[in-house]
């Protein structure tokens, strides 16, 4: 009976551990609440990067800059280490290049739509993380027949 | 462990004394964390900005001298130059109307392309014509350059020479045979297309004008003005 009891205890312990961390579990990525974020301009004015085109039509980039006060809610990860990414999903109108500079809370960087880039790695010590980011979007003018919404988000890798 | 609904919890730090219901610090933390996670999950959202193409169309046409702050390939910006250039020739009395075409020269000094400063035309033998138009979207329509041509060149006494007595060839140093502004002959009293520009491309040619000299005209100075117009779709 004692042996059976110990086996049962071991079984429940294993079961409990299995629930907490399944074998082979991967890091979980969660979109971070950024409802406190504010854009200083209502829209990003896109202009030709160069006033004149090249002879071969190879230089049709339009660029636009905007400043955004980023405020993300990281309370769920408070007092834990975290890795925060800026993600720009693949979306219409097509390939979008995004670069940004920061005031220091997050890392500056650049990416092309369909990718993400690490902007913070370290302990989460405050419920909210804030920074002012200056974004520069670059899109081919051939894709910009009209105004287009572009979506990005911050995400946390857990695990 | 018995579960308690969050609604039965007093906010942290606001538990009234003597209420009887007490939760351990650990229990409170777990329940609060659970509530926060729920809130975060419900409000997490992507951020959207609108990219708005401003001044999506730009055109630039240069016939003769033009205006750029500096060459395009080093960030130059196009400007406005109101100069009207001339193309002219002077015939000796003995050759008037003999059917031998007479080369015309220009007072334009535009030899270099504003694209990169490359010496593209030979002055005064050639007249530079070039430009571009920018437009957004996947349009493939080209901008068209037309010439509005008077019926004739005239002198002070009313004599005239049809504009159709003037033609031009087209080339450019190091250019392929095909030119965006090809060779042609003026159509007297008409509006004629003299070239086109595909969207978002730089286009340029050098024109060499000739007076065909197939008719005898009275002595005099004959002038006429051709207006070049660029029309973007």
What per-residue confidence (pLDDT) applies to B12?
28
Q: Which of A44, A89, A142 sits opposite B52 (nearest CB)?
A: A44
Strand order in the sheet with B191-197: B191-197, B143-148, B227-231
* B136 to A47: CB separation less than 8 angstroms, yes or no: no
Q: Three-state SS for A141? A: helix
> Token digits for A143?
């894709």
Q: Three-state SS for A22? A: coil
Query: How far apart are the CA of A81 and the nearest CA of chain B, in angstroms?
Result: 16
pLDDT in tens, B136-189: 887 667 899 999 999 999 999 999 999 999 999 999 998 888 899 999 999 999
Q: What is the DSSP string of A79-130?
A: TSEEEEEEEE---TTS-EEEEEE-SSSS--EEEETTEEEEEEEEE--SSEEE
Q: Three-state SS for A1? A: coil
Nearest CA in chain A to B37: A76
pTM given for the model: 0.67
* A53 to B50: CB separation less than 8 angstroms, yes or no: no
Q: Give the H/E segment covering residue A9.
A: helix A2-20
| Site from A53, A72, A124 to mutate, B interface, most B CB atoms within 10 angstroms | A53
Query: Quick check: bond before A126 cis, omega within 30?
Result: no
* A53 to B202: CB separation less than 8 angstroms, yes or no: yes
Query: How far apart are the CA of B91 and the nearest CA of chain A, in angstroms?
Result: 39
- Residues in a beta bridge with B177: none
Q: Which of B33, B198, B202 sits opposite A52 (nearest CB)?
A: B202
- Domain-by-domain residue ranges, chain B? 6-43, 58-231
Query: How far apart are the CA of A150 and the nearest CA of chain B, in angstroms?
Result: 5
* A149 to B51: CB separation less than 8 angstroms, yes or no: yes
How far is the C-alpha of B113 from the C-alpha of B97, rounded, in Å?
36
pLDDT in tens, B16-74: 222 222 223 333 333 343 333 333 344 556 789 999 988 678 889 999 999 999 887 78
Report ipTM (2 d.p.): 0.77
Question: What does the DSSP 8-state code read for residue A59?
Answer: -
| Site from A29, A37, A40, A52 to mutate, B interface, most B CB atoms within 10 angstroms | A52
The answer to whether A73 and B93 are in contact (CB under 8 A) is: no
Q: Which residues of B touch A152 (CB under 8 A)?
A: 46-47, 49
């Amino acid at each position: 009976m004692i042996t059976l009891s110990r086996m049962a205890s071991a079984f429940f312990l294993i079961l409990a551990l299995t629930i907490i961390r399944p074998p082979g579990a991967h890091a979980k990525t969660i979109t971070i609440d950024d409802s406190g974020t504010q854009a200083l301009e209502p829209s990003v004015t896109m202009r030709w990067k160069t006033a004149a085109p090249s002879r071969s039509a190879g230089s049709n980039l339009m660029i636009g800059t905007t400043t955004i006060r980023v405020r993300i809610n990281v309370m769920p990860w408070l007092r834990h280490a975290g890795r925060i990414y800026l993600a720009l999903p693949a979306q219409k109108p097509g390939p979008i290049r995004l670069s940004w500079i920061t005031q220091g809370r997050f890392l500056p960087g650049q990416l092309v739509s369909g990718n993400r880039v690490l902007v913070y790695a370290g302990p989460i010590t405050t419920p909210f993380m804030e920074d002012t980011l200056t974004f520069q979007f670059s899109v081919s003018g051939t894709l910009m027949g009209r105004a287009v919404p572009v979506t990005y988000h911050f995400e946390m890798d857990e695990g | 462990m018995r579960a308690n609904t969050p609604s039965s919890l007093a906010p942290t730090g606001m538990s009234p004394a003597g209420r009887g219901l007490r939760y351990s610090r650990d229990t409170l933390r777990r329940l609060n964390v659970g509530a926060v996670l729920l809130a975060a999950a419900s409000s997490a959202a992507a951020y959207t900005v609108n990219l708005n193409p401003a001044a999506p169309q730009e055109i630039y046409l240069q016939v003769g001298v033009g205006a750029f702050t500096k060459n395009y390939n080093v960030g130059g910006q196009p400007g406005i130059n109101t100069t009207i250039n001339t193309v002219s020739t002077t015939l000796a009395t003995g050759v008037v109307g003999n059917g031998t075409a007479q080369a015309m020269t220009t007072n334009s000094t535009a030899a270099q392309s504003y694209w990169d400063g490359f010496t593209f035309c030979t002055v005064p033998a050639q007249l530079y014509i070039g430009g571009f138009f920018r437009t957004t979207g996947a349009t493939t329509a080209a901008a068209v350059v037309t010439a509005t041509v008077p019926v004739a060149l005239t002198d002070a006494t009313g004599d005239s020479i049809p504009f159709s007595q003037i033609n031009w060839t087209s080339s450019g140093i190091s250019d392929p045979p095909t030119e965006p502004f090809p060779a042609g002959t003026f159509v007297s009293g008409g509006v004629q297309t003299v070239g086109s520009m595909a969207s978002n491309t730089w286009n340029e040619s050098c024109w060499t004008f000739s007076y065909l000299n197939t008719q005898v005209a009275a002595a005099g100075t004959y002038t006429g003005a051709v207006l070049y117009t660029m029309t973007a779709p």
